[in-house]
Amino acid sequence: MKNSAERLDWALNRCAESQLRMTPVRGAVLDFLSEQRKPVSLDEISQAPGVKGQYDSTTVYRTLMVFKDAGLVRNVGIMRRTSHFVMSVPGEVNYFLVCERCGSVVELGLTSGMLANLEHLALENGFATEGQSMDLHGICRNCKSASARRAPASKVMARYCLV
């Protein structure tokens, strides 16, 4: 994976190519995203140091949509309720393991062999392979042990979801 500066550089170039005007918000969002290695939520971006208090969250949202359409970021469906975004730098693969219960995210280190296999499989099924992201949903160790201590089904009704 490239370093932050390289990623930012790429993004800036990409913006220019797409003829997107460079504005303060966009710059700030790109700055923040270039430093992130995992998908971040819209809210996290709005709360980021250079963004919080400076710009309206609706604007941040629209900024992300523009970036998404220009192919700069990918909107990853990691959690059910909230959108997460990752910078979509060529050559970087974003494969994550996400916990279905607590939402924790871990980067998945796929071997190049597995990667090739997956891409081949995807292609076979009529999917484009470039710029894709994958998330493997499971239950992380913490939540796993928490559920072992889970109350019986009759009690579970009370909250529907014990984490």
CA torsion 28→31→36→41, rounded to 10°? Answer: 20
How far apart are CB 51 and a second copy at their closest, in Å? 20
Stretch near DNA under the rule CB under 7 A, chosen from 19-27, 95-103, 128-136, 140-148? 19-27
29 to each of 82, 100, 147, 157, how far by Cα in Å? 18, 27, 37, 42
Distance CA 16, CA 21 (A): 8
Cβ-based nearer residue to a second copy, 4 or 95: 95
Angle 24-35/4-17 helices, nearest 10 degrees?
A: 140
**CB-CB contact of 66 with 103 (8 Å):** no
Tell whether residue 23 is a contact of DNA (CB under 7 A): yes
95 to each of 56, 63, 111, 135, 160, how far by Cα in Å? 31, 24, 11, 6, 30
Q: What is the DSSP letter of 102?
A: T
Q: For DNA, which residue of 36, 47, 54, 132 counts as binding (CB under 7 A)?
A: 54
138 interface partner picked from a second copy, DNA, none, CB below 5 to 8 A per type:
a second copy
Cβ-based nearer residue to a second copy, 48 or 140: 140
How far apart are CB 64 and DNA at their closest, in Å? 9
How far apart are CB 66 and DNA at their closest, in Å? 6
Tell whether residue 80 is a contact of DNA (CB under 7 A): yes
Tell whether residue 59 is a contact of DNA (CB under 7 A): yes
Distance CA 109, CA 57 (A): 33
Tell whether residue 154 is a contact of DNA (CB under 7 A): yes
Q: What does the binding site for DNA look like in residue numbers (CB under 7 A)?
A: 20-26, 41-43, 54-56, 58-59, 61-63, 65-66, 80-83, 154-155, 157, 160
